[in-house]
C-alpha cells in the first residue's frame, strides 16, 4: 500500500480520505482573515477542528489570496511562532506550515512542524535543501503564474502533470523520496475558472502514480461562481460538492475551513466508493 509520510506520521493512501483543517493566523485571509489572529483564538479553533476529526492542521501566517500584500519572513514567523509552539504541546496531530520562505520553514521544522506546504512549489533550491535535511512531508503546489511553460501548451491538465513530473525528479535528486511528497494542483493560483473546473473533475489525469494528492478548493472563487458568488462563509455546500467529486476521482487529502462537515461528507463518500464495482 502506498503511504505519505510526514515526520513520524504515515498516512496509508487509497482507503481513506483525510481532512486538513485550515488555521489562518492572519488579519487578511480571503475567507476568515482576523478571526483567529489572536493566539488564544487560534488555539481554540485548532482544538475544535481536532475534536471534529481533522487528521492534520495547516497553519498559515501570510495570506496568499489574489492581490495579497506580501509580508516579510520575519513578520510571518512572529505571527506563526507562538501558535505553532503552543500547538505542538497541545496536540499530537501532524502540523503543516504554509510558507514560501526557506528561513520560516527551517524555524518551523525546528519548532515541531511536520509538513512544509509551499505555494511556490519548492522551486527554491534552499527550500528543497531544508526539507531534505528533515523527515518532513512536502506539499508541492502548482502555481500557474510561476510554473507554466511551453510544456502542455493550452491544456491545463498537461501543464500541471508536467510540473509534477519535473518536481518529483528534482526532489528525488535532492534526496526527498516520493513517499514524502503530496502534490496540489493549486486551485485558484494562476488559472481560469474553466481550468479550475477541469482540475477538480480530472484528478486521476494529473495525479502522479503512487503519490499523495491534496485538493484545496474550500470557499474559493471556483465554488462561488456557479452559485451567484455568495459570501465566502456561505460556500460550504458548494465546497463539499466540489471536494467530493475530487475525492471520488482520487484526491487523498482535502484542505478545508469547515472540518466537521467535511469529515462527515468524506466518510460517506469513502464508504460509497468502496462499494463501486468495475465492469
Every domain of the chain and the residues it spans: 13-272
Residues annotated as part of the active site? 220, 255
Confidence tier at 151 by pLDDT (50, 70, 90): low
Q: Indicate left, alpha or beta for 234 from its phi (over 0: left) and psi (-120 to 50: alpha).
A: alpha
Cross-strand partners of 23: 59
Q: Does the model's pTM come out above 0.85? A: yes
* Cβ-based neighbour number of residue 273 at 10 Å: 13
The pLDDT of residue 68 is: 58
Mean of pLDDT values over 246-252: 98
Mean of pLDDT values over 5-12: 96
The grid cell for 34 is 482576523
Phi/psi for 118 (5° steps) reads -105, 110
SS (H, E, C) the chain: CCEEEECCEEEECCCCCEEEEEEECCCCCCCCCCCCCCHHHHHHHHHHHHHHCCCEEEEECCCCCCCCCCCCHHHHHHHHHHHHHHHHHHCCCCEEEECCCHHHHHHHHHCCCCEEEECCCCCCHHHHHHHHCCCCEEEEECCHHHHCCCCCCCCHHHHHHHHHHHHHHHHHHCCCCHHHEEEECCCCCCCCHHHHHHHHHCHHHHCCCCCEEEECCCCCHHHHHHHCCCCHHHCHHHHHHHHHHHHHCCCCEEEECCHHHHHHHHHHHHHHHCCCCCC
Mean of pLDDT values over 229-239: 94
The pLDDT of residue 148 is: 64
Mean of pLDDT values over 36-52: 86
The grid cell for 191 is 488559472
Q: How far apart are the first and last CA of the chain?
A: 23
Q: Does the pLDDT at position 33 exceed 50?
A: no
Q: Does the pLDDT at position 150 exceed 60?
A: no
Percent of the chain with pLDDT over 90: 82
Percent of the chain with pLDDT over 70: 92
Confidence tier at 62 by pLDDT (50, 70, 90): confident
Mean of pLDDT values over 113-120: 97
The pLDDT of residue 129 is: 97
The pLDDT of residue 47 is: 94
Write down the CATH number for the domain with range 13-272: 3.20.20.20
Convert the pLDDT of each residue in 194-225 to its tens digit: 999 999 999 999 999 999 999 999 999 999 99
* pLDDT: which is higher, 21 or 37: 21
Q: What integer best gives the mean pLDDT of the chain?
A: 92
Residue 122 Cα distances to 74, 104, 161, 168, 186, angstroms? 20, 13, 16, 10, 13
Amino acid at each position: 500500500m502506498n503511504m505519505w509520510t510526514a515526520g513520524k506520521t504515515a498516512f496509508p493512501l487509497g482507503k481513506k480520505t483525510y481532512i486538513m483543517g485550515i488555521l489562518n493566523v492572519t488579519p487578511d485571509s480571503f475567507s476568515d482573515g482576523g478571526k483567529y489572529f489572536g493566539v488564544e483564538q487560534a488555539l481554540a479553533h485548532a482544538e475544535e477542528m481536532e475534536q471534529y476529526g481533522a487528521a492534520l492542521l495547516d497553519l498559515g501566517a501570510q495570506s496568499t489570496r489574489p492581490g495579497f500584500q506580501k509580508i516579510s519572513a520575519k513578520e510571518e514567523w512572529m505571527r506563526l511562532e507562538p501558535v505553532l509552539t503552543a500547538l505542538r504541546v497541545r496536540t499530537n496531530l501532524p502540523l503543516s506550515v504554509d510558507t514560501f520562505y526557506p528561513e520560516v520553514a527551517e524555524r518551523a521544522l525546528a519548532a515541531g512542524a511536520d509538513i512544509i506546504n509551499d505555494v511556490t512549489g519548492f522551486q527554491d533550491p534552499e527550500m528543497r535543501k531544508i526539507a531534505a535535511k528533515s523527515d518532513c512531508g512536502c506539499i508541492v503546489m502548482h502555481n500557474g503564474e510561476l510554473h507554466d511553460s511551453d510544456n502542455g501548451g493550452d491544456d491545463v491538465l498537461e501543464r500541471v502533470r508536467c510540473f509534477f513530473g519535473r518536481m518529483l525528479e528534482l526532489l528525488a535528486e535532492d534526496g526527498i523520496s516520493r513517499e514524502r511528497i503530496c502534490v496540489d494542483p493549486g486551485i485558484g493560483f494562476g488559472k481560469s475558472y474553466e481550468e479550475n473546473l477541469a482540475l477538480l473533475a480530472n484528478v486521476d489525469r494529473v495525479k502522479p502514480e503512487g503519490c499523495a494528492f491534496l485538493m484545496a478548493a474550500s470557499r474559493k472563487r471556483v465554488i462561488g461562481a456557479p452559485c451567484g458568488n455568495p459570501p465566502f462563509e456561505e460556500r460550504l455546500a458548494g465546497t463539499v460538492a466540489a471536494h467530493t467529486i475530487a475525492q471520488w476521482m482520487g484526491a487523498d487529502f482535502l484542505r478545508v475551513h469547515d472540518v466537521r462537515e467535511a469529515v462527515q461528507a468524506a466518510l460517506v463518500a469513502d464508504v460509497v466508493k468502496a462499494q463501486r464495482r468495475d465492469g
